[in-house]
A and B are shown apart, each in its own frame.
Chain A
């Protein structure tokens, strides 16, 4: 290995640092998921106003202000949570994490109430018209991602409460947080398309 000895005197090789595989993996997944959502969003936009029968979005949709505020705030609470675990403040970590989960649950409750009203009172199901088909698909796809995120966060919370999630795992938590931020950003797009443009 005559080269090995000569390698060492290069400054660039002495500091050999590569990005964390968790973050790279999650970012790749997010790019893929973005393409998935793009197709559903494009379908939603394309089919705005093309339903042959009612009900229309203007007749039945109400803007979910409370749920939106809760979900967007949860990006802030999870960021505080990340900050706390990086500095080893485990009680603050668990507290902010619990707040994040609570906000996510309020959002999901809002969706549940909204869907109940739409289905029972307004008679809008996935087979009623194109609006129903695209609405339940897009909002449902996002809600599925919220549920997935909430499940991951809940597992972490349970482990944290059992003292099984040490501060050394902050990198892993950051990866989950990245996913949660993504779910939030997607909601901004879905909200704009469904409740602002589409209404």
Chain B
């Protein structure tokens, strides 16, 4: 702007300035706000997604803290049973639908078009619609605290994040709390579907010249797989929730056992959504690790084609494992055996990935900066999570451990130990691109170490509580069960994680104003998003890039040692 003005003759410059002076501060603020509200720019929408999710991360994290205060000592009366039920329902629902999915789609929105050298997503207006649908869904869910009906204020959904029938029937869930749960997720589900469609169309139809499918960065590849999986994952949930609303409002009988309906059908439908959903959440975490591990090991990713094949393999296998959540409902032995084996099968492509990451780090000059630290934590914790997953996939073992804290520990190892760790890694990694400033490395290390220590204190201990027989979803327990000390340890770990997240939030805000200036390529990375300025201009690239290898920026930096001479 200043360049432009200096080229202009004096009188016009004066006119511009006097007009600027006339504009009041509030007008400028309104214009800024309007710019964000009506934006269709993929970068702004990506940032909105991420800020929205971080907000709900703090909210659902606070709910977890309340849960842990309640369980810290036996016979506690910090929360009533009713409030406790609402809190664990809202904690789970929020973390999955208002934190996990939107933040991962936020990364996709911001990074995918930049990585494939595109100007924007394939459908920018659909993109904005999807975000605002998702945002509205979240607000609707939380409005239930005020408008849940029947008992007045504070009646949020309390049926668990899986909302098993027949608890959700009108008889057992009067009021509107359950309807808020279903409607909010249907609305945000439409947003999710729109985003998935958009990402697929973007990746297939918007790639810059030369970026063939097998030259796409693995991040983009994984998002193609995730979006494909999302298409067939979120819609079954929407269908099941339509049925629930038909039962509740139109007097239907889908899940009404009194009229021949089956509560078990809900459980099947929910997990047909619910299990692939885990992969919808974890594959983007892999995507982030696929970018960070090579860059911070100073080596190209090991086994690119195997990584692509493993991701596609996980997508297909994950669609056939849902009933491993249902070993205790009494299925036939043949059904049990099928789901035991299909679940174990997931271990193969996942194992391939872990070996490839280790092989990438092997012999590299590893830089232990914050993004890499979180990725290393992810590698270790994801391995443990996978191993306890194999344990739970064995039906007789599951009969013993099902719905105990062992299961809670297992899936938090995946959701926090793998996914949240990778989300933090990704936030530290792309923050300089989005804001032009680095996050503080010192606070980042504090965040990492406190979080990793708190994480292990909480979730390692939870495994033992599960083996000692503590069931999930109970609001308190008797002091003679032998769970007292372990529960206190779990709660202490929760607080340490809470402090770590607050340090992160502080770092995230303060670095925006006071962080070191990042420059275009602070990590010496290789993909296209680092060729443009930080933050990138509205149009992303001044001229459309052309690529010849998987690491186009490496080729630019090393014209006499380019990748495309070696890639097949």
- Chain A positions within 8 Å of B, measured between CB atoms, are 1-4, 6-7, 10, 12-13, 16, 18-22, 24-25, 28-29, 31-36, 38-40, 43, 46-47, 50-52, 126-127, 129-130, 133-134, 137, 141
Determine if B29 is an interface residue (Cβ-Cβ < 8 Å).
no
Once A3-B559, A24-B205, A28-B197 are accepted as A-B contacts, the answer to whether A43 and B265 lie under 8 Å apart by CB is yes
Contacts of A6 in B (CB 8 A): 548
Find out whether the CB atom of A35 lies under 8 angstroms from the CB atom of B197. Answer: no
Sorted nearest first, the 4 A-B pairs with minimum C-beta distance are: A127-B251, A39-B239, A21-B205, A32-B231
Contacts of A28 in B (CB 8 A): 196-197, 200-201, 227-228, 231
Of chain A, the residue at the smallest CB distance from B560 is A2
Find out whether the CB atom of A19 lies under 8 angstroms from the CB atom of B205. Answer: yes
Find out whether the CB atom of A3 lies under 8 angstroms from the CB atom of B555. Answer: yes
Beyond A24-B201, A25-B122, A29-B193, 20 extra complex contacts between A and B, CB < 8 Å: A1-B556, A3-B546, A3-B555, A3-B559, A7-B548, A18-B206, A18-B207, A25-B198, A32-B234, A32-B235, A33-B235, A34-B232, A35-B232, A35-B239, A43-B243, A46-B262, A52-B260, A130-B253, A134-B254, A141-B242
Partner pick for B269 among A21, A39, A141, CB 8 A cutoff: A39
Of chain B, the residue at the smallest CB distance from A127 is B251
Once the chains are docked, how many angstroms separate the CA of A39 from the CA of B251?
Answer: 19
Q: Whole-angstrom distance from the CB of B386 to the nearest CB of chain A?
A: 27
Contacts of A7 in B (CB 8 A): 209-210, 546, 548
Once A3-B562, A35-B232, A137-B242 are accepted as A-B contacts, the answer to whether A127 and B252 lie under 8 Å apart by CB is yes
Q: Is the interface of A mostly helix, strand, loop or mixed?
A: helix
Once the chains are docked, how many angstroms separate the CA of A10 from the CA of B207?
Answer: 17
Once A2-B559, A18-B207, A134-B254 are accepted as A-B contacts, the answer to whether A35 and B243 lie under 8 Å apart by CB is no
Contacts of B210 in A (CB 8 A): 7, 10, 13, 16
Find out whether the CB atom of A130 lies under 8 angstroms from the CB atom of B260. Answer: yes
Contacts of B254 in A (CB 8 A): 43, 47, 130, 133-134, 137
Q: Whole-angstrom distance from the CB of A193 to the nearest CB of chain B?
A: 15
Find out whether the CB atom of A3 lies under 8 angstroms from the CB atom of B556. Answer: yes
Per-residue CB contact flags for chain B residues 252-273 toward chain A (1 = under 8 Å, else 0) read: 1110000111100100010010
Q: Whole-angstrom distance from the CB of B195 to the nearest CB of chain A?
A: 11
- Chain B positions within 8 Å of A, measured between CB atoms, are 122-123, 126, 193, 196-198, 200-202, 204-207, 209-210, 212, 227-228, 231-236, 238-240, 242-243, 246-247, 250-254, 259-262, 265, 269, 272, 546, 548, 555-556, 559, 562
Task: Pick the most buried of B201, B234, B254, B546: most chain A CB atoms within 10 A of its CB.
Answer: B201
Once A25-B197, A133-B254 are accepted as A-B contacts, the answer to whether A40 and B123 lie under 8 Å apart by CB is no
Q: Is the interface of B mostly helix, strand, loop or mixed?
A: helix
Of chain B, the residue at the smallest CB distance from A18 is B205
Contacts of B546 in A (CB 8 A): 3-4, 7, 13
Once the chains are docked, how many angstroms separate the CA of A137 from the CA of B122?
Answer: 33
Partner pick for A129 among B207, B243, B259, CB 8 A cutoff: B259
Q: Whole-angstrom distance from the CB of A152 to the nearest CB of chain B?
A: 15
14 A-B pairs, CB-CB below 8 angstroms? A4-B546, A7-B546, A12-B212, A18-B205, A25-B126, A35-B231, A40-B239, A47-B261, A50-B260, A126-B250, A126-B251, A126-B252, A133-B247, A133-B254
Contacts of B200 in A (CB 8 A): 24-25, 28
Once the chains are docked, how many angstroms separate the CA of A127 from the CA of B559?
Answer: 72
Q: Whole-angstrom distance from the CB of B359 to the nearest CB of chain A?
A: 28
Partner pick for B204 among A3, A24, A35, A137, CB 8 A cutoff: A24
Contacts of A2 in B (CB 8 A): 559
Find out whether the CB atom of A36 lies under 8 angstroms from the CB atom of B252. Answer: no
Contacts of B240 in A (CB 8 A): 39
Q: Whole-angstrom distance from the CB of A49 to the nearest CB of chain B?
A: 9
Once the chains are docked, how many angstroms separate the CA of A120 from the CA of B94?
Answer: 44
Once A18-B204, A24-B200 are accepted as A-B contacts, the answer to whether A126 and B246 lie under 8 Å apart by CB is yes
Once the chains are docked, how many angstroms separate the CA of A33 from the CA of B197?
Answer: 11
Partner pick for B196 among A18, A32, A43, A129, CB 8 A cutoff: A32
Task: Pick the most buried of A21, A33, A52: most chain B CB atoms within 10 A of its CB.
Answer: A21
Find out whether the CB atom of B253 lies under 8 angstroms from the CB atom of A129. Answer: yes
Once the chains are docked, how many angstroms separate the CA of A71 from the CA of B254?
Answer: 29
Once the chains are docked, how many angstroms separate the CA of A86 from the CA of B119?
Answer: 29
Once the chains are docked, how many angstroms separate the CA of A25 from the CA of B201?
Answer: 5
Q: Whole-angstrom distance from the CB of B9 to the nearest CB of chain A?
A: 35
Q: Whole-angstrom distance from the CB of A127 to the nearest CB of chain B?
A: 3
Contacts of A51 in B (CB 8 A): 259-260
Partner pick for B243 among A10, A24, A34, A137, CB 8 A cutoff: A137
Find out whether the CB atom of A36 lies under 8 angstroms from the CB atom of B236. Answer: yes
Q: Whole-angstrom distance from the CB of B45 to the nearest CB of chain A?
A: 17
Once the chains are docked, how many angstroms separate the CA of A100 from the CA of B453?
Answer: 65
Partner pick for B260 among A3, A12, A25, A47, CB 8 A cutoff: A47
Q: Whole-angstrom distance from the CB of A124 to the nearest CB of chain B?
A: 13
Once the chains are docked, how many angstroms separate the CA of A51 from the CA of B252?
Answer: 12
Once the chains are docked, how many angstroms separate the CA of A18 from the CA of B272?
Answer: 33
Once the chains are docked, how many angstroms separate the CA of A134 from the CA of B260?
Answer: 12
Find out whether the CB atom of B556 lies under 8 angstroms from the CB atom of A130. Answer: no
Contacts of B123 in A (CB 8 A): 21, 25
Contacts of A12 in B (CB 8 A): 212
Of chain A, the residue at the smallest CB distance from B197 is A28
Contacts of A52 in B (CB 8 A): 259-260
Of chain A, the residue at the smallest CB distance from B552 is A3
Of chain B, the residue at the smallest CB distance from A52 is B260
Once the chains are docked, how many angstroms separate the CA of A6 from the CA of B547?
Answer: 11
Q: Whole-angstrom distance from the CB of A58 to the nearest CB of chain B?
A: 17
Find out whether the CB atom of A29 lies under 8 angstroms from the CB atom of B555. Answer: no
